[in-house]
Homo-oligomer: A and B are copies of this chain.
Amino acid sequence: MKVLQVRDAVKFNPEKLNKVSLFDTDKFFCDVYCLQPGQSQKVHSHEGSDKIYYVLEGKGKVTVGSEERELSRDEIALAPSGLDHGVVNHTQENLVMLVFMAPKP
């Protein structure tokens, strides 16, 4: 059985958003996104795949479509297929998110 401790997987890259892959199957991927202050995932979209952002630590501004919202710890958001989405750590603290996307683009 593949079991991981999510907090142990958290690792930051001073250069940019660090995506740590937890699971990568032919059905989906599940990553931890580690964002230092000011780091971001540029707004983008992928037709045919839905994504979930779940905040484990810190706060970030998540965009879905034309809407931007600040998400805090334990908040979870859906970015449906085809809609623009992205995230920015606009705070002075680290941001850690669990991200799930299916199917793989």
Query: Residues of A at under 8 Å CB distance from B?
Result: 1-7, 22-23, 25, 27-28, 30, 49-50, 52, 54, 62, 64-65, 67, 69, 71, 74-78, 80-81, 98, 100, 102-103
Contact = CB atoms under 8 A, between A and B. Distances in A.
Contacts of A30: 52, 76, 100
Contacts of A54: 6, 98
B25 A50 contact: yes
A23 B102 contact: no
Nearest to A67: B1
Contacts of A80: 25
A52 B23 contact: yes
- Closest 5 interchain pairs by CB? A102-B102, A1-B64, A27-B50, A28-B102, A3-B77
A77 B5 CA distance: 9
